[in-house]
Amino acid sequence: AQKVTQTQTSISVVEKTTVTMDCVYETRDSSYFLFWYKQTASGEIVFLIRQDSYKKENATVGHYSLNFQKPKSSIGLIITATQIEDSAVYFCAMREDNNNNAPRFGAGTKLSVKP
């Protein structure tokens, strides 16, 4: 069964610094997708970045990058040069590469970026 765990409930950083959010997952499948989503204060959930399990290179999109450590079943999200507007709840999700499985989400990490 799929399981996604985010142990950091909340993180507070000063703007323009780098923050890392942790996520570990459990799966029996050899092929899967990993995602990070952001939920803003308005409740909107938007897709940020994705890592496919077969890819060795860490994904990067803008100032978001991933630290994919497959042996540890870990997919950390790194945000560089944080901005006030990065304040949000960040969810990690996993979907096994199986048409019959829906993605499962972690509990989320609340990021506060302060001036």
Partner 1 sequence: NAGVIQTPRHKVTGKGQEATLWCEPISGHSAVFWYRQTIVQGLEFLTYFRNQAPIDDSGMPKERFSAQMPNQSHSTLKIQSTQPQDSAVYLCASSPYRDNYAEQFFGPGTRLTVL
Task: Catalog residues that contact partner 1 under the rule CB under 8 A.
Answer: 33, 35, 37, 43-47, 50, 52, 91, 95, 97, 99-108
Q: Would you state the structure tokens that stand for residue 17, as one six-digit string?
A: 């610094």
Count of residues making up the chain = 115
Is the CB of 41 or the CB of 102 nearer to partner 1? 102
Task: Write the single-letter amino acid at 87.
Answer: S
What is the sign, positive or negative, of the torsion defined by CA atoms of 98, 52, 9, 86? negative
Helix (H) or strand (E) holding 68: strand 64-69
What is the CB neighbour count within 10 angstroms for residue 31? 11
Select from 77, 81, 78 the least CA-distant residue to 92: 77
